[in-house]
Amino acid sequence: MALSRNTSKIVSPAIRVTVIMIITTGVVYPLLVTAIGQTALPYQSNGSQVMLDGKVVGSKLIAQEFDSPKFFHSRPSSDSASGVDPDITVEEANSQILSISDATGIPVNTLKTLVELDMERNRNANAIVFAPDYVNVLELSVELVKNYPQAYQQEINGEK
Amino acid sequence: MDIIQLALVIIVTLGFALLFGKYLARMIVYEVRPLEKTLGRVENGFYKIIGIDKYEQMTWKQYLYALLLTNGIAAGFVFAVFMLQNYMPLNPMPAFSGDLAFMQAASFVTNTDLQHYAGDQQLSLLSQMVSLIFVMFVAPASGIAAAFAFIRGFIRKNFGLGNFYVDFTRIIITLLLPVAFFSAILLIAMGSPQTMEPSITTGTIEGKSQTMVTGPVASLESIKQLGSNGGGYYGANSAHPFENPTGVSNIFETFLMLVIPFSFPIAYAHLLGKGRGVSILAAMVIGFGVMLILGLFHESGPSGVETRFGSFGTVLFNVASIATNTGALNSSLLGMNHDAIISLFVGMFVQAIPGADGTGMMTMIVYIILTLFIVGLMVGKTPEFMSMKINPKDIKLAVLVFLAHPALILIPTVVAYTTGSAESLFDKSTPLSFTQILYEFTSAAANNGSDYLGTAANTPFWNWSTGLVMLIGRYLPIGLMLAIAGSFTMKDRKEIVEPIKTQGPVFVGILVVVTFILTALTFFPVLAMGPFSI
């Protein structure tokens, strides 16, 4: 009798503390962060979605595959750790410029400038010192389409 | 640029460690904290619900029992959710097999977070949120609580080791939860998603369709890093852009991993002497520095490394992650240079430079006791610590803590080879495959959780074996160390100068050398067969 009362006295707080912490840390905490995130930072909270002509064309943070030779290409997914690395190095971007210029007719110097501008944007987003220089492929592609809608008419309408 | 990055991490980490260390010290000896009245009222509410008397002190056995019991119940809950997630709401996923659910429950509750599954493909949003985020608070809170009790054992005779439920509640409510909360908001600002939608489907520029797994990522990420947990929302862990979106988040997450482990020596300095605490901090910083230099010696990547982190951000994050036994990686280990892999092994072998939240500090004190014993033998003096005699029983317990680690790594590695379970994962045995097997058990035994095998290890042998290794690797040393604290709290303190001072540059030097020599002697043969031969 004394033993079982002792046992329940010891076991009861362990069960209670688990239940109260499941509610506090497993339910209330993530829901509260979600409420604040969705209210104050809806763009990031919903996956940093990139818009083009009023349509969502992907997430800035997730690489997408491009078939057309008119776009910059992400790394092969097997090459990066995440498989969805959205960025390429500046050297990699520059090495693709010639063929993109050929396919689109956009001057090489303009492409170089667009790469530079995107690199600068990322530099600022990383407070300059926190990351190496890189280019975000989706952002760069959106800039291309915005600046040269004629050249990309087929691609963005899904026609080949 | 890289140097500025490194300098900022060190300055900010040590700066916050000064603040947090003072706070931890106040928690350990129940001194007034900022907002004490409010915090006290909230805590009293929790004690009422839990049904405990906050003034009731526990013996080391009671403390250990309460810790084991609470962890056992939490693990049981995680196990049940994984086994039943197909019946639960919020994008149900197929249930885990029994062996995988056992392994994962053991993995999360022991603060290891080794994952034999890919979270984004195999866990429901409910499992990620209610079981994973919850247990990521339980595991570090238990480790920190054990360290509180351990440190109280040295403060003065019969100070009392404390009450597990009181410590556990206070650590979650007034330390981990508020810091994780603000960090989660910051992570959202940096780009981590936080939504109750399990996935989003969008078009692409070329008019195709793309589906991305989302969820309460930021709220998991912050406690994953702060609590030295390391279990990713995604299979790619901190390499995934939603978990670690930019170079800024990479550094912020590095800071989150380092801050609590480096706060402990500061707390120790407040409670047990400034010189002693600063000396421990110095030993930890030196050990961490050695790992970092080794890792940065050669370039890592570009294959297996994310572009936005580059070689430097990758090595910095991963070394911090392994050194703190967090185990989250922001790259594939196959993309890391060999010396970096050896450096990661060193961190997991030592477990105390600075080690995980709470347990890293405890392990470091065990190294100090062992160092005093060895040095005492050499100079012919009775080992004393904090003016207390270290008797043979304490030494035996400390040696057992030390020996448990190699036993838990080497014996299972041998078993894996003798049963053919190691070979079944690879086409042929090479130094690289041996390294991967050794890494798996080292990571499990150190409660680290970084993995070299990944989902390939989701077989009954690997699930049961690593599950057991993680459980023993966590609770045996904690039990032994609490026993040491139980012994020290009843000792008389003498008012004489210690025969061997546990502070100052000479002691720091000896401590570091002894720690590295003990580790090297224990593990050199397997390192020679594995990473040295690749």
Distance CA B109, CA B140 (A): 9
User: Chain B residue with minimal CA distance to A63?
Assistant: B241
Provide the mean pLDDT of chain B. Answer: 93
Assess whether pLDDT exceeds 60 at residue B287: yes
Measure Cα distances from B38 to B43, B65, B166 in Å.
9, 30, 16
Whole-complex ipTM: 0.94
Report the mean per-residue pLDDT for chain A.
90
Q: Is the dihedral of CA B174, B353, B383, B510 positive or negative?
A: negative
- Angstrom CA distances, B80 to B76, B95, B126, B216, B504, stand at 6, 10, 12, 21, 51
pLDDT at residue B141, as a whole number: 98
Q: Once rounded to an integer, what is the mean pLDDT over residues B168-196? A: 97
Kindly state the average pLDDT of the residues A85-91: 95
pLDDT in tens, A90-148: 999 999 999 999 999 999 999 999 999 999 999 998 888 899 999 999 999 999 999 99
Interchain contact, B204 vs A158, CB within 8 Å: no
Q: Which of residues 513-532 of B touch A (CB under 8 A)?
A: none
Q: How far apart are CA A129 and CA B249, in angstroms?
A: 12
**For A65-75, what is each residue's pLDDT tens digit?**
888 999 999 98
Residues B412-442 as b or e (16 or more Cβ within 10 Å = b):
bbeebeeeebbeebeeeeeebbbbbbbbbbb
Q: How far is A109 from chain B (nearest CA, A)?
A: 23
Backbone angles phi, psi at B232, to 5 degrees: -75, 150
Query: Which of A26, A138, A141 is nearest residue B133 as measured by Cβ atoms?
Result: A26
Using a CB-CB cut-off of 8 Å, the residues of chain A touching B194 are 33-34, 37-38, 44-45
Averaged pLDDT for residues A63-84: 90
Return d(Cα A33, Cα A56) in angstroms, integer: 25
In this predicted structure, what is the pLDDT of residue A3?
Answer: 53
The CA distance from B257 to B228, in Å, is: 6
Instruction: State the pLDDT confidence band at A8, using cuts at 50, 70 and 90.
Output: confident
CA distance to partner chain A, nearest, from residue B203 (Å): 5
Integer Cα distance of B51 and B48 in angstroms: 5
Reported as a single tens digit per residue, the pLDDT across B69-126 is: 999 999 999 999 999 999 988 889 999 999 999 999 999 999 999 999 998 899 999 9
Q: In terms of pLDDT, which residue wins out, B454 or B321?
A: B321
Question: Coil, strand or helix: which one is A56?
Answer: strand
Contact B479, B64 (CB under 8 A): yes
Annotated domain spans of chain B: 1-200+213-534
Classify residue B93 by its DSSP letter.
-
- Taking alpha carbons only, the member of B313, B323, B148 closest to residue B228 is B323
pLDDT digit string, tens, across residues B353-407: 999 999 999 999 999 999 999 999 988 888 888 888 888 999 999 999 999 999 9
Radius of gyration of chain B (CA): 22
Instruction: Please list every residue in chain B whose beta carbon sits closer than 8 Å to the beta carbon of residue A29.
Output: 133, 177, 180-181, 219
Residue B418 has pLDDT above 70, yes or no: yes
Q: B216: which chain A residues are within 8 Å (Cβ-Cβ)?
A: 30, 33-34
Name the residue of chain A whose CA is nearest to B130's CA. Answer: A26
Q: Is the pLDDT of residue A158 over 70?
A: no
Q: Is pLDDT of A1 > 80?
A: no
Strands B199-203 and A55-59: unpaired
Cα-based angle A144, B200, A87 (whole degrees, multiple of 5) = 40
Among the partner residues B72, B195, B239, nearest to A45 by beta-carbon distance: B195
Q: What is the pLDDT of residues B5-43, one digit of tens each?
A: 999 999 999 999 999 999 999 999 999 999 999 999 999
Residue with tokens 């009450």: B163
Q: What are phi and psi of B202, to 5 degrees?
A: -130, 170
Mean of the pLDDT values across residues B189-209?
94
The stretch A18-45 carries a mean pLDDT of 97
The partner residue sitting opposite A130, judged by closest CB among B5, B133, B203, is B5
Closest CA–CA distance from residue B509 to any residue of chain A (Å) = 33
Q: What pTM was estimated for this model as a whole?
A: 0.95
Host H or E run for residue A34: helix A29-40
CA–CA gap between residue B371 and residue B133 (Å, rounded): 38
CA-wise closest residue to B92 among B117, B123, B128: B123
Read off the pLDDT of each residue in A72-86 and give the average, rounded to a whole number: 90
Residues 107-136 (B) with a CB less than 8 A from some CB of A: 129-131, 133-134
Dump pLDDT digits (tens) for B509-531.
Answer: 999 999 999 999 999 999 999 88
Residues A82, B240: C-beta atoms closer than 8 Å:
yes
Q: How far apart are CA A112 and CA A69, in angstroms?
A: 17
In contact, B267 and B22? CB cutoff 8 Å: yes
Q: What is the pLDDT of residue B133?
A: 97
Q: Is the pLDDT of residue B138 over 80?
A: yes
Q: Three-class SS of residue A88?
A: strand
Cα–Cα distances (Å) from A75 to A64, A116, A155, B236, B513, in that order, read 10, 19, 20, 16, 44
Which residue spans within B91-197 are E strands per DSSP?
none
Range name among B253-257, B277-281, B401-405, B426-430 with the lowest pLDDT average? B426-430
Chain B residues with CB under 8 Å of A34 CB are 194-196, 216, 219
